[in-house]
A and B are shown apart, each in its own frame.
Chain A
Amino acid sequence: MSEKRAPAAPPSADAESVGGVERTQLQMILSRFLRHRAAMISLVVLVAIIAAAFLGPFVWRWDHTVHLEIPPSVPPGADHPLGTTTAGHDVLGQLMRGAQQTLKVAFTVSIMGTVVGSLWGATAGYYGGRVDSLMMRVVDVFMIVPLLVMVAAIAGNARAGTTWYAVALIIGFFSWAQIARVVRGVVLSLREQEFVEAARAAGASPSWIIVRHLLPNAAGPIIVAATLLIAVAILLEAGMSFLQFGIQPPDISLGQMIGDARTAASTRPWLFYPPGVLLVVICLTINFIGDGLRDALDPRQSMVRR
């Protein structure tokens, strides 16, 4: 028909080219996360804090206990970069130990609450009907009980609230309900999606569907809830310590430090601000990292701008 023909690429059913080299899923998630600036900065800061909290005590000559050689109430200076308390603690030593305990509590609570809450919520949402009603009534009970009162009551009676893991277990036990609620809501809409039906048609069992389809697709809200839970746990622990139900002296946590220094904020600010600022920084970084993770885990997010 014509003597000239275009050197066109043969049209095929998949003419769409998405470009780029093939990469594994993990690499793609990683590269998306690396592009998230706020999350990356936060990660660096958080890693630094964790390193300082866990490795610092090995390097620094003062620990968090009272030492007779430490002069009381010294403002920050060369010997004691963050000053000392009236009783003779080194504030830097206290801060590192306190951050360590607080972080351990926070992460334990978050992991525990997220795992239990997600599974609970996803199961309730997937089955629906009576199972859902029953499971969600249990959640309601956990939600309406004032958290701090319950935690305080149990910790006060159990006489076990002196170690960090006991505190973490108690807080964790009472804080998964919120996540269960969030996950159930997401799963309720997800289970109506056709890909869930497709999996059922292929013969998948409910546990397969929950683990392989529902939870990954609920990852965004779960991660947000988990990071919020970290912040909540830190604050709860601080509150408990403040009320003397949390980690007991001579051990120390950030909350306890803030509680002890509450009257000294204006007279001896070096006792109050370091733990206060550190607490805020930890919560902020964790929130940003959560945002980054949420975006990185979503394959539909082609670019992450911030």
Chain B
Amino acid sequence: MTTTDHMSNEETVPPGTGDVVLEVRDLSVTFPSDDGPLPAVREVSYVLRRGEALGIVGESGSGKSVTSMAIMGLLPKNARVEGSAKVLGQEIVGLKDAQISKVRGNKIAMIFQDPLTSLNPVYTVGYQIAEAVLAHRKVGKKAAMARALELLELVGIPNPEQRLKQYPHELSGGMRQRVVIAVAMANEPDVIIADEPTTALDVTVQAQVLEALEAARKETGAALVLITHDLGVVAGHVDRIGVMYGGRMVEMGPVEEVFYRPRMPYALGLLGSLPRLDEDRSERLTPIMGTPPSLLALPRGCAFAPRCPMARSVCHEEEPRLLATDENGERVRVPVEDTDAHTAACHFSEELENAQPTDLFKGTAVDADTVEAVDEEERQAEEALAEVGGSSDTADGSGREAILTVRDLVKHFPIRSKGLLKRRIGEVQAVSGISLDLYEHETLALVGESGCGKSTTARLMLQLIKQTSGEIGYKGQALHSMSPRQMRPLRRDLQLVFQDPFASLDPRMTVSDIIAEPMRIHGERNGGAKKRVRELLELVGLNSEHGSRYPHEFSGGQRQRIGIARALALNPKVLILDEPVSALDVSIQAGVINLLEDLQDDLGLSYLFVSHDLSVVKHIADRVAVMYLGKIVETGTTDQLFSAPAHPYTQALISAIPLPDPVKERTRERIVVTGDVPSPANPPSGCRFRTRCPKFADELSENERVKCVEEPPELLDRGTGHQDACHYSRAVELF
């Protein structure tokens, strides 16, 4: 049926527009604000052809979501939208809401980021899909339900008949996002706009959802606009890519062109600041200096110029247009319809022909100003370090003494009945018997998907929550049996850095007070604390004058630096980093990672690095432990684990991470897991991974499977300290 529908759709296309399904021209969106007009989107133009996939990437605040909201007519009334957006030749901008509704959901559909909030919790899944069908088609309820069933099959939901009658809360995150995709597909739209469709999901689930999206799109022949901040996600799934910065499209072209031959320093910088799975650890990341501009105070000229290492005077005066570069190195105008053209908004894009991120952003001869600035900062940091002193006795790494040890750690959270009695009706097995050793001056990464117990482990190690059983030792002292009062002096040595730089700083305290707080708690004199705060601010690369400001005046990356400064205030020996960079934009993330690496070298810290992002882990960690449902399934050095992962889960995890490289991403072999993580309240018997294990499903015989079901595998050494917990483990090379 889909092919015929496809045909009929094509016939309805008004003549003259060819196969263009979405045409955006000079689209600008301005929000009124108390501090003056806020230009969120400025003169964005692009076309989308039938069946094509366009990726739009950009950091938070770059205007990528606002653009699509404007196309969907979903912006608040006070937004001023100018320019034009045509769907199948029909102008959308300026239409009344009732008129847009006829187009919305029918010809153009949208998939939102958070599947939790984009479905209505009080209606069944089937009803919500049928509702989308009924809104635009004159069919009966029965037919609509039949269509809903068909759609659920299309997006790969097992047992669709059952699922139709379920409510959103009965489905997992991945399933819900598939339902959202099904809703979007309901009327076979010509254009689907997916706004960060997988950002809220785990990597293994992300891979599944992207596949479902791809399958659904093939089936209906819809064109896709994929909006994301993740360069890896776009690399494998789109034909063309547009890069947005400061409300403008700054580069656009076929995906290979943009990834391999970027013509705009910003795109190049983004690629350089991304830690990659397919690269060696030794390479330092090349962050982009500074922070994205405030839309209220956009610089004159190119918006990227203040952060650009090759900015010259013309860049600060004249805003570059989105132009292509011809064979002679001249910048020329190309029509928006030319979808093969590679355009960039940079006055000097021809000079970037063969540039590498390292040349430009850490380069020596390229821009002396920046280099000086970097040097200056490093020098200051070193001075600050010299003043800090004391703890930088890192040279003697002779004795590989475990500084923090964990043995058979177990944490069960009780599930209590509602009502007055609060009886214990079960327990969530968050951590089920794990052992770890953290050595001095090393980084141990704890990796896993959400709900695997990695953050709980981190908090147990700091005794912020009490373990159910097991032992935690720090330098021979048994932390697990200490009272909070006994623990307090030891907290000087063990510090924590949080994921969310917005929630982890008290909004009512100044930055100085925040950083000085640990010292005040431990009864240090006020004068000493003040001096130390200045040192710490400089140490983490912030201006020491900024101590009197409040956290909300800083950007995400700066706040994370404040959080790190606070953790360093008491000269700790161990830092436990709970997803320290996952809330940050790519260009900012690289700077924080580099800072962490420098601090470790200079202060001789040991890191426990909790993360779900294997690319970052590969870049920063010495050893890695992979967790799944409260157990460690594999551990080894970073090299061992990434070059020859032995446990099927590790293999799946690694192959689910999208590479920011279009060719590699499309051609690489994948080990795909199905389904979602089971509930830790009721984990599977035997091997906990068996319900999703590709090996269990495809390779093993009936007899072999019995062992997986009945016997929990132990973490065994396969030689050279590389351990895994699989009965039938076999190392696989994935790169």
Q: Give residues in A with beta carbon < 8 Å to B.
A: 1-2, 4-16, 18, 22-25, 193-195, 197-205, 208, 212-213, 216-217, 219, 297-300, 303, 305
Contact = CB atoms under 8 A, between A and B. Distances in A.
A236 B290 CA distance: 58
Contacts of B566: 198, 202
Contact of A8 (B305, B366, B495, B554): B305
A304 to B, nearest CB: 11
Contacts of B491: 201-203
A6 B376 CA distance: 19
Nearest to A192: B503
Nearest to A199: B517
Contacts of B591: 13
Given A194-B498, A198-B496, A203-B489, 4 more contacts: A4-B313, A10-B369, A15-B307, A195-B505
Given A16-B558, A201-B496, A8 B369 contact: yes
Nearest to A13: B541
B558 A12 contact: no
Given A9-B306, A11-B290, A194-B503, A202 B552 contact: no
Contacts of B569: 202
B498 A299 contact: no
B370 A16 contact: no
Contacts of B366: 1
B169 to A, nearest CB: 21
Nearest to B34: A303
B464 A200 contact: yes
B388 interface: no
Interface residues of B, number: 72
B495 A217 contact: no
Interface in B337-388: 351, 365-370, 372-373, 376-377
Nearest to B309: A11
Contact of B316 (A2, A8, A10, A205): A8
Q: Pick the 7 closest A-B CB pairs, nearest first.
A: A10-B373, A203-B491, A11-B289, A194-B504, A202-B518, A11-B290, A15-B290
B500 interface: yes
B376 A10 contact: yes
B510 interface: yes
Contact of B488 (A5, A13, A14, A203): A203
Contact of A195 (B492, B503, B541): B503
A205 B485 CA distance: 8
Contacts of B552: 299-300
A136 B505 CA distance: 29
Given A1-B310, A203-B522, A12 B373 contact: yes
A16 B563 CA distance: 18
B307 A11 contact: yes
Interface in B266-325: 289-291, 294, 305-307, 310-316
B588 to A, nearest CB: 9
Contacts of A193: 503-504
B360 to A, nearest CB: 10
A7 to B, nearest CB: 8
- Interface class of chain A by DSSP: loop
B578 to A, nearest CB: 9
A23 B510 CA distance: 12
A10 B553 contact: no
B549 A18 contact: yes
A13 B464 contact: no
Contacts of B34: 303, 305
A16 B555 contact: yes
24 contacts: A1-B310, A7-B313, A10-B373, A11-B373, A13-B558, A14-B541, A15-B289, A15-B306, A22-B545, A22-B548, A25-B510, A25-B548, A195-B503, A198-B505, A198-B563, A198-B566, A202-B491, A202-B521, A202-B566, A203-B491, A208-B521, A217-B508, A299-B550, A300-B550
A12 B543 contact: yes
Contact of A15 (B291, B495, B561): B291
Contact of A13 (B372, B492, B518, B542): B542
A9 B370 CA distance: 9
A23 B316 CA distance: 32
Given A1-B365, A22-B545, A217 B507 contact: yes
B570 A5 contact: no
Interface in B499-538: 499-500, 503-510, 517-518, 521-522
A23 B548 CA distance: 8
Contacts of A14: 541-543, 546, 554, 558
Contacts of A303: 34
A4 B348 CA distance: 13
B311 A6 contact: yes
Contacts of B306: 8-9, 11, 15
Nearest to B557: A13
Nearest to A216: B508
B462 interface: yes
A215 B34 CA distance: 30
A4 B314 CA distance: 9
Contacts of A4: 312-314
A16 B291 contact: yes
B464 A300 contact: no
A5 B521 contact: no
A24 B509 CA distance: 12
Contacts of A212: 517
A12 B290 contact: yes
Nearest to A2: B312
Interface centre among A9, A23, A193, A194 (most CB of B within 10 A): A194
A298 B552 CA distance: 11
Given A14-B542, A216-B508, A300-B550, A6 B518 contact: no
Contacts of B503: 193-195
Contacts of A15: 289-291, 306-307
B382 to A, nearest CB: 16
Contacts of A300: 507, 550, 552
Contacts of A23: 548
B312 A204 contact: no
B38 to A, nearest CB: 15
A18 B545 CA distance: 12
Nearest to B504: A194
Contacts of B517: 199, 202, 204, 212
Contact of B289 (A12, A18, A201, A299): A12
Contacts of B554: 14, 16
Contact of A204 (B291, B521, B543, B550): B521
A130 B372 CA distance: 60
Nearest to A193: B503
Given A10-B370, A22-B545, A204-B521, A197 B464 contact: yes
